[in-house]
Amino acid sequence: MEDIFVVKRCNKIIIHGRRAGDSQHDPAEAKSWFRIRDTRTDGFIGDGYDAQDDAERECKRLNAASSPLPARQFSG
């Protein structure tokens, strides 16, 4: 069975401002952040994560909680 929740890498651009009177400013930084995508709805869960490991850990937890439990045999 495929996972319902998966990690998606997103681009984040950090733009540095400059103070009045400065003629130059630092260049923009390209970084990444990670979101949890629900493959059923194509929506996102939560606010996102800076570390990929944190996002993957939460995906595993969500997928484990969402997986159907094995059927129990009724003996009675």
The domain segmentation of the chain, as residue ranges, is: 5-16+26-66
Nearest Cα residue to 45 out of 32, 34, 31, 30: 34
How do residues 13-27 score in pLDDT, each as one tens digit? 887 777 777 767 677
* Burial bucket for residue 45 (CB in 10 Å: 0-12, 13-18, 19+): middle
Q: What percent of the chain has pLDDT over 90?
A: 50
Give the torsion sign (CA, 61, 53, 44, 50): positive
Bigger pLDDT: 11 vs 70: 11
Q: What is the mean pLDDT of residues 33-44?
A: 94
Vertex 14: Cα angle to 54 and 56 (nearest 5): 15
